[in-house]
Chains A and B, each alone.
Chain A
Amino acid sequence: MTVKLPIYMDNNATTRCDPRVVEAMLPYFTEKYGNAASRNHVFGWEAEAAVEEARGQVAAIIGASAKEIVFTSGATESNNLALKGVASMYRKKGNHIITAVTEHKAVIDPCKRLERDGFQVTFLPVDRYGQVHPEQVAEAMTPQTILVSIMAANNEIGTLNPIREIGRICKEKGVLFHTDAVQAVGKVPIDVNEMGIDLLSLTAHKLYGPKGIGALYVRKKDPRVRLDPIMDGGGHERGMRSGTLAVPLIVGFGKACEIARQEMPEEAIRLRQLRERLREGIMSQLEETYVNGHPTERLPGNINLSFAYVEGEALMMGIKDVAVSSGSACTSASLEPSYVLRALGVGDELAHSSIRFGLGRFNTPEEVDFVVDQVVKAVNHLRQMSPLYEMARAGVDLKSVQWAAH
Chain B
Amino acid sequence: MAYSSKVLDHYNNPRNVGSFSTADPNVGTGLVGAPECGDVLKLQILVNPETGIIEDAKFKTFGCGSAIASSSLATEWLRGKTLDEALAIKNTEIVEELALPPVKVHCSVLAEDAIKAAIKNYQEKQASRQKNEPKEEAVGVGCSARECLDR
Which residues on A are within 8 Å of B, measured CB to CB? 309-311, 313-314, 317-318, 328-330, 335-337, 347-349, 352, 384-390, 398, 401-406
When chains A and B are docked, how far (Å) is the Cα of A401 from the Cα of B17?
A: 22
- Establish whether residues A348 and B35, one from each chain, have CB atoms under 8 Å apart when the complex forms: yes
Question: Is there contact, CB below 8 Å, between A387 and B60?
Answer: yes
Asked if A403 and B142 make an inter-chain contact with CB atoms under 8 angstroms apart, the answer reads yes
Main secondary structure of the interface of A (DSSP, over half): loop
Whether A384 and B17, one on each chain, are in contact in the complex, defined by CB atoms closer than 8 angstroms, is: yes
Question: Which listed residue (B34, B61, B62) contacts A404, Cβ 8 A?
Answer: B34
B23 at the interface (CB under 8 A from A): no
A336 touches B143 (CB 8 A): no
With a CB–CB cut-off of 8 A, which chain B residues contact A390? 19, 42, 60
* Residue B14 is within 8 A (CB to CB) of chain A in the complex: yes
Q: How far is the CB of A197 from chain B (nearest CB, A)?
A: 37
The answer to whether B148 and A328 have CB atoms under 8 Å apart is no
Subset of 30 A-B contacts with CB under 8 Å: A310-B62, A311-B39, A311-B64, A313-B64, A314-B63, A314-B64, A314-B65, A314-B67, A314-B68, A317-B11, A328-B38, A336-B147, A336-B151, A337-B38, A349-B35, A349-B36, A352-B36, A384-B17, A385-B68, A386-B60, A387-B60, A387-B62, A389-B62, A390-B42, A401-B140, A403-B35, A404-B34, A404-B140, A406-B37, A406-B149
Judge if B3 is at the interface, Cβ distance under 8 Å.
Answer: yes
- Per the bound structure, the CA–CA distance linking A35 and B40 in Å amounts to 58
Whether a CB of chain A sits under 8 angstroms from the CB of B31 is yes
Nearest-neighbour CB distance to chain A for B92, whole angstroms, equals: 20
Q: Are B64 and A328 in contact (CB under 8 A)?
A: yes
**Which of A309, A310, A329, A388 has its CB near the most chain B CB atoms (within 10 A)?**
A329
> A384 — which chain B residues lie within 8 A by C-beta?
17
Known: A386-B60, A389-B62. 4 other contacts (CB 8 A): A314-B67, A403-B143, A406-B148, A406-B149
B74 contacts A by Cβ under 8 Å: no
B36 touches A387 (CB 8 A): no
Bitwise, B79-90 to A at CB < 8 A (1) or not (0) is 000000000000
Given known contacts A403-B142, A406-B143, A330 and B38 CB-to-CB distance under 8 angstroms: yes
Residues of A contacting B140 with CB < 8 Å?
401-404
Chain A residue, CB-CB nearest to B60: A387
